[in-house]
């Protein structure tokens, strides 16, 4: 936990919109422009608090997989290797742009982060994690037949889905703690971490999967003793009745209450993992988690913006109540 002077240990999990907005071409220029905007908001937090940043990588890892699939004679690059590539690329952009906004003597580090999973996790029997772009039905069916990929409908298109096992252990946790204790802004656990498992007692190997970013970030937040865990997304808060005229923002909620009263309203591929990760963190630590817009990061840290999930809240409080 951060020490003295009002400083807090803050982990911010950046949603994919921080790197690529829905419908944008996946060009380097677009990604860097979005990273610059994200770092405009993150820099003031890094200047006053201990900051860890994690991030999504769904579009990026999907693009790498698509590029790799285009070269039939080339050897197959598994998802753990592609995940490591995206951690390096995205971490480079974040570290450079954030460093451009902080004092020159403020240390920053991007750490390739492996996360252990159970190779027998039931998630391997039911791929659900979407990666990459959407395809028309005929293209998705052709790729499924040629590459053995699984697809699920996403609106009027189809996206590749892969196994998403639960994160068990952060391999580089000791290094992350050391960097924090020496005043470093740490960018780590990108894309949910590089999925790995032990083949024998001492032989760590990569696993063909993508770990959910929010659950991996929640594990990270618990293990480093974060004072607040923030999931920055493209909505102002968690909403009930999201697609109805009666939609209302959840201002604050107890983890048990939000899950018992509203869990069925949250989309499995987007908001539900965030809510579950927030609830797990709040229950395990007694500290708050927040979900909201990156532009409101100051308020999310202070507990005055977005949706605050904490054990000191009674029930579920909606906006306007």
The residues that are catalytic are 16-17, 129, 213, 274
Strands 307-309 and 248-253: parallel
- Dist. CA 321–CA 306, nearest whole Å: 15
Alpha-carbon dihedral angle through residues 243, 249, 255, 257, given to the nearest 10 degrees: -80
**Axis-axis angle for helices 271-285, 255-262 (nearest 10):** 150
- DSSP structural state of residue 165: P
- Dist. CA 224–CA 221, nearest whole Å: 6
- Helices (H) and strands (E) counted in the chain, each on its own, are 9, 17
Closest alpha carbon to 45 in 252, 295, 304? 295
Q: Are 160 and 131 in contact (CB under 8 A)?
A: yes
Closest alpha carbon to 17 in 67, 52, 59, 51? 59
DSSP string, 43-90: HHHHHHSEEEEEE--HHHHHHHHHHHHT-TTSPP--HHHHHHHHHHHH
CB atoms within 10 A of CB 11: 26
- Dist. CA 96–CA 88, nearest whole Å: 12
Element containing residue 29 per DSSP (H, E): helix 28-48
Q: Are 248 and 239 in contact (CB under 8 A)?
A: yes
Q: Which two tokens stand for residue 216?
A: 């991996």
Residue 68: C-alpha distances to residues 50, 121, 134, 160, 284 (Å):
38, 27, 17, 14, 40
- Dist. CA 236–CA 250, nearest whole Å: 10
């Amino acid at each position: 936990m951060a020490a003295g002077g009002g400083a807090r240990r803050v982990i911010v999990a950046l949603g994919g919109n921080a790197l690529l907005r829905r419908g944008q071409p996946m060009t380097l220029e677009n990604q860097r422009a979005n990273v610059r905007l994200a770092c405009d908001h993150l820099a003031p937090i890094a200047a006053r608090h201990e900051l860890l940043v994690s991030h999504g990588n769904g579009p990026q890892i999907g693009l790498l997989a698509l590029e790799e699939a285009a070269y039939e004679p080339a050897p197959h690059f598994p998802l753990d290797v592609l995940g490591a590539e995206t951690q390096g690329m995205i971490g480079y952009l974040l570290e450079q742009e954030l460093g451009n906004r902080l004092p020159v003597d403020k240390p920053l580090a991007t750490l390739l982060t492996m996360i252990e999973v159970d190779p027998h996790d039931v998630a391997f029997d039911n791929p659900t994690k979407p990666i990459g772009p959407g395809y028309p039905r005929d293209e998705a069916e052709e790729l499924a037949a040629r590459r053995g990929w699984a697809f699920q409908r996403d609106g009027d298109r189809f996206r590749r889905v892969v196994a998403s096992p639960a994160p068990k252990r952060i391999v580089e946790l000791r290094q992350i703690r050391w960097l924090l204790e020496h005043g470093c802004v740490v960018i780590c656990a990108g894309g949910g971490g590089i999925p790995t498992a032990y083949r024998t007692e001492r032989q760590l190997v990569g696993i063909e999967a993508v770990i959910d970013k929010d659950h991996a970030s929640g594990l990270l937040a618990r293990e480093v003793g974060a004072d607040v865990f923030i999931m920055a997304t493209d909505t102002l808060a968690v909403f009930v009745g999201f697609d109805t005229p009666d939609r209302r923002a959840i201002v604050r909620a107890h983890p048990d209450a939000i899950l018992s009263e509203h869990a069925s309203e949250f989309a499995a591929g987007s908001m539900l993992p965030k809510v579950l990760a927030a609830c797990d963190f709040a229950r395990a630590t007694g500290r708050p988690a927040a979900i909201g817009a990156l532009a409101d990061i100051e308020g999310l840290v202070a507990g005055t913006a977005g949706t605050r999930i904490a054990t000191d809240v009674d029930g579920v409080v909606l906006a306007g109540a």
